[in-house]
Amino acid sequence: MLSRLQRHGLPPWVMVAAIATGTFITALDQTVVVTALPAVMADLKIQLARLEAVIWVVTAYLLGYTVAMPLLGRLADVYGYTRIYQYSLLVFCVGTTLVALSGEWGWLNDQIDPLDQIVIARVVQAIGGGGTVPISLAIAAALVSPEKRGLALGIVAGAAEAGSMLGPAYGGAIIEIWSWRGIFWLNVPQAAIIAAALLFLPNQRFADARMDYRGAIVLTIALVLLSLAVAHEGLFRLSSWTPYWLLVGFLVSTGALVLLQRRTVQPLLSGALFRAWAFVMANIAQLLVGIALIVAMAAMVIMANTVMDVPERPVDSLTAALWLLRMTGTIPIFSVVGGLLLRWIDARWVTVPGLALIAIGMFQVGGWPLLGLPGWPVGISDPKLTIDMVIAGVGFGLVIAPLMHRAILSAPLDYRAVSASMIVVARMLGMTLGMAALSAWGVNELLTIFDETVALPSAERREVISHASLDLFHSFFRAAGIIAILAIVPATLMRASPMERAELTGTTPAAEMAAGDGS
């Protein structure tokens, strides 16, 4: 890859910036529609009673995004990073165009409901977008020298974080200037520019690598069932058998996948990945980080808009978003810092302090009675508000690059994009699982609080509910802190694999490290 860049006089970091921009654009679409949903409903005349169906505009993208990652990651390992990245951008553009055109054709509206058109188009868009993240990480790792890989991975991962965090604000701005359809039309020229920049990269592939299509089908079924199960509200509320039947289906398909992979010469998920202790431990830590992150983000926004919104100190939606920005705004920045530190410090000793900072920040927000730490009062103000949130944000940012670095470099060369996809999928599944747990736990506890205060006078009941609800939110933050501490265990155990050590020291030829031809 570097030779063609050198012929054109382009430094590798220009291409790292280009692929990071592509990741940023597709990551925006994870959350950009959050602020667009009211405009979509108004434009397509969708009734409020169909709000549950409207949520699928968001869910469909996240589901397609998650499922597509490992499949497109392996395709990139087999057919070349550049080619599959360009094809992914093409699919993304087709999907985003279909979203922008949804509801515009009367003849189609008679056959397919406009809302269903958007959901289907969002799945197509997500399949393309899901391919860009793992391939970008794999390209970044291949573009620069081993000692600079951490920084390259931090830049790409930071771009993905920034995209998902800024999505709602970006969507709101475009709606004000143009319309909700403009959000999706703008994706097309942006993606085209990134695809053109990729023409400077050769499409290097492993000649002996093969795609396991049967494994891809079974893995897709397994991931769809798992994603639907962990996102189902009945999983933690014990109110429905559906999520448990979905989990049974996931276990059955996983068992079938294991048997199939053992009989396949070049499986979709190489056994070399799961024999690599560093890869397994990094994924476990990443799953726990995803849970802690979504619990912290969701609890902060809900708490700010409810119990902390008092007449003497009102908190509107913008104020709540700015509170959260103190944490989320630091994540992309310290993702790059974490990657830079990998040049001198082992990934474990960047990750562990990051997790410790997450725990400290969460315990500062939620308090810890055993240590005599009080949680945030209703009248919390700066500088404490900012300091506590920034501490947690620094921690969430620091752990991103080292976890990805360790997982990706523990994989054989011809499974790098697959390993990148799996570490991202672990984070997204963690966030989905955390959201489902928070929803179930929070709803059940709040209902209990309301039931136990029914007999109280109105003024006293409001005060009791306010204090009890604040205590509940404090417990959410403490839970996030505990999860971060639990993640320290796998993070400490993810020692550098022999493959990573050999690559860093240059003691093993690259060809010998392409060990993914068997399981």
Chain segment 270-304, per-residue pLDDT in tens = 778 888 899 999 999 999 999 999 888 878 877 77
d(CA 116, CA 57): 9
The alpha carbon of 371 is separated from its chain's Cα centroid by a whole number of angstroms, namely: 33
d(CA 159, CA 147): 20
Nearest one of 168, 175, 73, 63 to 125, comparing CA atoms = 63
DSSP string, 267-301: -SS-HHHHH-HHHHHHHHHHHHHHHHHHHHHHHHH
pLDDT at 276: 87
d(CA 120, CA 112): 10
Is 1-205 assigned to CATH 1.10.510.10?
A: no
Nearest one of 158, 171, 232 to 393, comparing CA atoms = 158
C-alpha pair distances (Å), 441 with each of 124, 392, 413, 448, 472:
33, 23, 43, 11, 10
| pLDDT digit string, tens, across residues 348-402 | 999 999 999 999 999 988 887 655 667 777 666 777 878 888 999 999 999 999 9
Confidence class for position 469, pLDDT limits 50, 70, 90 = confident
Q: Which tokens go with 358?
A: 């997450």
Map tokens 């790059």 to a residue: 336
**Distance between the two ends of the chain, CA-based, in angstroms?**
28
126 burial (CB, 10 Å; 0-12 / 13-18 / 19+) is buried
The pLDDT of 489-496, averaged and rounded, is: 93
pLDDT at residue 100 is higher than 60: yes
C-alpha pair distances (Å), 172 with each of 102, 167, 182, 232:
19, 9, 11, 28
| pLDDT digit string, tens, across residues 230-271 | 777 677 777 788 889 999 999 999 999 888 888 888 887 877
d(CA 411, CA 395): 26
d(CA 467, CA 377): 10
What's the one-letter identity of residue 329? G
Nearest one of 138, 150, 134 to 349, comparing CA atoms = 150
pLDDT at 62: 77
CA torsion 115-120-125-131 (nearest 10°) is 140
The pLDDT of 484-488, averaged and rounded, is: 97
Confidence class for position 129, pLDDT limits 50, 70, 90 = confident
DSSP string, 18-77: HHHHHHHHHHHHHHGGGTTHHHHHHHTT--GGGHHHHTHHHHHHHHHHHHHHHHHHHHHH
Looking at per-residue confidence, does 256 or 52 come out higher?
Answer: 256
pLDDT at 74: 87
Assess contact for 223 and 67: CB atoms under 8 A.
yes
pLDDT at 318: 59
d(CA 331, CA 292): 14
| pLDDT digit string, tens, across residues 150-206 | 899 899 988 888 888 787 778 878 888 888 888 889 889 988 888 888 888 777 776
Q: Over the chain, what is the mean pLDDT?
A: 81
pLDDT at residue 90 is higher than 90: yes
The pLDDT of 341-345, averaged and rounded, is: 90
What's the one-letter identity of residue 443? V
The alpha carbon of 224 is separated from its chain's Cα centroid by a whole number of angstroms, namely: 16
Q: Which residues of 231-248 are buried (b: 16+ CB within 10 A; e: fewer)?
A: bbeebbeeeeeebeebbe
The pLDDT of 479-483, averaged and rounded, is: 93
Assess contact for 199 and 64: CB atoms under 8 A.
no
Assess contact for 365 and 376: CB atoms under 8 A.
yes
Is 272-519 assigned to CATH 1.25.40.10?
A: no
What is the SS3 assignment for 310?
A: strand
Instruction: Tell me the sheet residues that pair with 396.
Output: none
Length of the chain: 519
pLDDT at 378: 64
pLDDT at 48: 61
Phi-psi region of 486 (alpha: psi -120 to 50; beta: other; left: phi over 0): alpha
Backbone angles phi, psi at 313, to 5 degrees: -150, 70
CB atoms within 10 A of CB 104: 11
The answer to whether the 1-205 and 272-519 domains have the same CATH topology is: yes
Task: Give the domain ranges of the chain.
Answer: 1-205, 213-263, 272-519
Assess contact for 243 and 453: CB atoms under 8 A.
no
pLDDT at residue 509 is higher than 50: no
